[in-house]
Amino acid sequence: MDFELSEDRRMLRESLSRWLADRYPPDHRLKVAYDAPFHDPALWSELADLGVLLAMATEDAGGFGGSGFDISVIFEALGAALCPEPVLGALLVSRLLAAAGQDQSGLLDGSVRWALAVGEPDAPWSLDRIATQARGGRLTGRKALVYGGNDADRFLVVARDGDRLSVHEIAASDAEVVGFGTIDGGGAADVILSDTPARLVLDDAGKAIQSALDAGRLALCAEAVGVMDASFAALLDYLRQRKQFGRAIGEFQALQHRAADLAVEIEQARSITLLAASRLDGEGAARMVSMAKNLIGRVGRQVAEECTQMTGGIGVTWDYHPAHLTKRLVMIDHQLGDTDWHLQQVMAGIRA
């Protein structure tokens, strides 16, 4: 057993965190995350130059990482800095292009921005309900909340052809892309496809899509852990600093115990995320990732609500950076399966 990060990953984490602290401080994040294109394209290129995208892909695919721990290290750092860059879409697409054995150099060097269009309005998370149709090289359907879709050059689209799921490539300019900003910062889009020309990338793709989504869910769990750490650190600062009734509010036992509970829950969240990272790509990965995403959803809400409550009025203001952390924590539950959906996935395997 070894709970230390490898030397390479430690360096990756340090260089990424340093870059984020330097280039993506809270005031800059606030400036770009809520105005189109809802991220900073120049910094996207720098992020790619740093090798962050390469670290998410295996050597076979042209990268130098690609394991669960590579993904969790990167996303935890992005979460702590509340970075709105569309890295998640790149990860999802990279996994699928790798499964198809196709060149992804443009993705990995950051020159082409990709997003994955999978969930639909009535079936946001269940693959067996996907209704978008692939017929004769054309796609018809509607994809909801494609993160990063507002500023993507190309999409991979998951569609149905009879009972088989397949993955197709389209150019953003060939579809109706309805972009918008999200309540927690960053951009997304609905993608409307009507007889849209597409190139088949992967046929009979159910397994590959599941595996890409597992990686994406792990990434969100790790991001949430990073956000929780940052939220909690801000809360502790506030409890020490804020004085009422002649003393620091952190001296009130009513708040101390709740802060202690949060510390316990955050360690639980970190632990299950480590477990999911270690199991990614192995037997039973999907169920383990669902366990993690369920716990992350529950703890995320608790951390967000408690941090807001214990910072009083300040905690609900726009100019207080940690308020944006709490929004992100809550809204992560709306991405790639919420608490209840993942609970149902875990329940489905309970008799095994």
Partner 1 sequence: MDLNFTPEELAFRDEVRAFLRESLPLDISDAVRRGGELGADILSRFHALLNGRGWLGYVWPRDHGGTGWNAIQRHIFEEEMAAADCPRILPFGVNMLGPVLIKFGSEAQKSHYLPRILDGTDWWCQGYSEPGAGSDLASLRTRAVRDGDDWVLNGQKTWTTLGQYANRIFVLARTRADGKPQEGISFFLVDLDNPGIEMRPIRLLEGGHEVNEVFFTDARIPADALVGEENQGWTIAKYLLTHERTNIAGVGRSYRALAQLKDLARQTMRDGRPLIDDPLFAARLAEVEIDLEAMNILNLRMLDQAQKRGQPGAETSMLKIKGSVIRQEISDLARRVLGPAAAPFPGSAPDNLALLPEDAVNNAADYFNMRKMSIYGGSNEIQRNILTKAVLRL
Binding site residues, partner 1, CB under 8 A: 34, 119, 121-126, 129, 144-145, 178, 180-184, 188, 190, 243-246, 252, 254-255, 301, 305, 308-309, 312-313, 315-320, 323-324, 326-327, 330-331, 333-335, 338-340, 343-344
SS3 158: strand
Q: Angle at the Cα of 233 (from 229 to 236), degrees rounded to 5?
A: 140
Given the rule CB under 6 A, which of 11-19, 226-234, 245-253, 297-305 is the region that contacts ligand FAD? 245-253
Cβ contacts of 51 within 8 Å, gap of 6 or more: 12, 64
Give yes or no for a contact between 193 and 111, defined as CB atoms under 8 angstroms apart: no
Determine, following the binding rule CB under 6 A, whether residue 248 of this chain makes contact with ligand FAD. no
Q: Which of 111, 244, 256, 271 binds ligand FAD (CB under 6 A)?
A: 244
Site for ligand FAD in 313-342 (CB under 6 A): 313, 316
Count residues near ligand FAD (CB under 6 A): 12
Main-chain phi, psi angles of 112, to 5 degrees = -120, 125
Q: How far apart are CA 231 and CA 350, in angstroms?
A: 33
Determine, following the binding rule CB under 6 A, whether residue 312 of this chain makes contact with ligand FAD. yes
Q: How far apart are CA 65 and CA 54, in angstroms?
A: 7
Give yes or no for a contact between 130 and 116, defined as CB atoms under 8 angstroms apart: no
Given the rule CB under 6 A, which of 42-50, 95-103, 151-159, 246-254 is the region that contacts ligand FAD? 246-254
83 binds, among partner 1, ligand FAD, none (CB under 5 to 8 A by kind): none
Distances (CA, A) of 23 to 15, 29, 66, 238: 12, 9, 25, 25
Q: C-beta of 330: minimal distance to ligand FAD in Å? A: 18
Nearest partner of 190 among 119, 270, 261, judged by Cα: 119
Site for ligand FAD in 46-65 (CB under 6 A): none
Residues near ligand FAD, by CB under 6 A: 242, 244-245, 249, 252, 254-255, 309-310, 312-313, 316
